[in-house]
Chain A
Amino acid sequence: QVQLQESGPGLVKPSETLSLTCAVSGFSISRGYWWGWIRQPPGKGLEWIGSVYHSGTTRNNPSLKSRATISIDTSRNQFSLKVTSLTAADTAVYYCARGLSAGDPSWGRGMLVTVSS
């Protein structure tokens, strides 16, 4: 059974860049699927950030105005997210997930990222 685990800093300063990694176990990401990042500000709903296909093709949510970059590393069976120019509005629980457009989606447990000086 596939498992996803987010990792990265829990606290970042305004204007800095957030880097998160999603480690995948129980499934080889090179086999297929879109792999995505989703965030949820405290008390609010889910927001899709972007996705990456096993080939490296990406799709991003225009609402982040090109601040988000997603990449995939099939050799390490993981994919990553970078968000630049952070503000307090980027404070959220960040989730990684597999297969939001086909198959039975699987989600990581999520990690809280706080943007504060």
Chain B
Amino acid sequence: FMLTQPHSVSESPGKTITISCTRSSGNIASNYVQWYQQRPGSAPTTVIFEDNQRPSGVPDRFSGSIDSSSNSASLTISVLMTEDEGAYYCQSYDSDNHVVFGGGTTLTVL
């Protein structure tokens, strides 16, 4: 299966954005979805795991959800800050533990 994300999104500081991640086949709810933030020159870091869980240290401005009706997952970032800029990747897996990444979404905070 594939995970499809928008290529880019931009918004002003203080606003809220949502990045979608649509699964092409299979039920989005069947396997956990993770979200990673990657700043230029750095390794990815987890901002959401197991659909909607935040690692310690990740602010509650970040939240994750899944929607079975659209077979997609979403990452929502509220009260945008310039430090939130970077690439965001969704990731999931199939029933045989083959891992799939989305193509990534570049977030620009204007």
Which residues of chain A have a CB within 8 Å of any CB of chain B? 34, 36, 38, 45-48, 51, 53, 59, 61, 95, 100-110
With contacts A45-B89, A107-B45, A108-B43 taken as known, whether A102 is within 8 angstroms of B50 at the C-beta atoms is yes
Bound form: Cα–Cα A47–B98 in Å = 12
Q: Closest 7 interchain pairs by CB? A: A48-B99, A46-B101, A45-B104, A101-B93, A104-B55, A110-B43, A107-B43
By a CB distance below 8 angstroms, the chain B residues around A108 are 43
A109 to B41, CA, bound (A): 10
* Residue count of chain B within 8 Å CB distance of chain A: 25
A105-B49, A107-B43, A109-B43 in contact; A48/B97 too (CB < 8 A)? no
B residues with a Cβ closer than 8 A to A are 31-32, 34, 36, 43-46, 49-50, 53, 55, 87, 89, 91, 93, 96-104
Contact of B99 among A36, A53, A103, A106 (CB under 8 A): A36
- Choose from B46, B96, B104 the contact partner of A46 (Cβ within 8 Å): B104
B56 to nearest A CB, angstroms? Answer: 8
B49–A103 touching, CB < 8 Å = yes
Closest Cβ of chain A to B79, distance in Å, is 23
Name 15 interchain pairs, CB-CB below 8 A, sorted by A. A36-B99, A46-B36, A46-B44, A46-B101, A51-B99, A59-B97, A59-B99, A95-B44, A103-B49, A104-B53, A104-B55, A105-B34, A105-B36, A105-B46, A107-B46
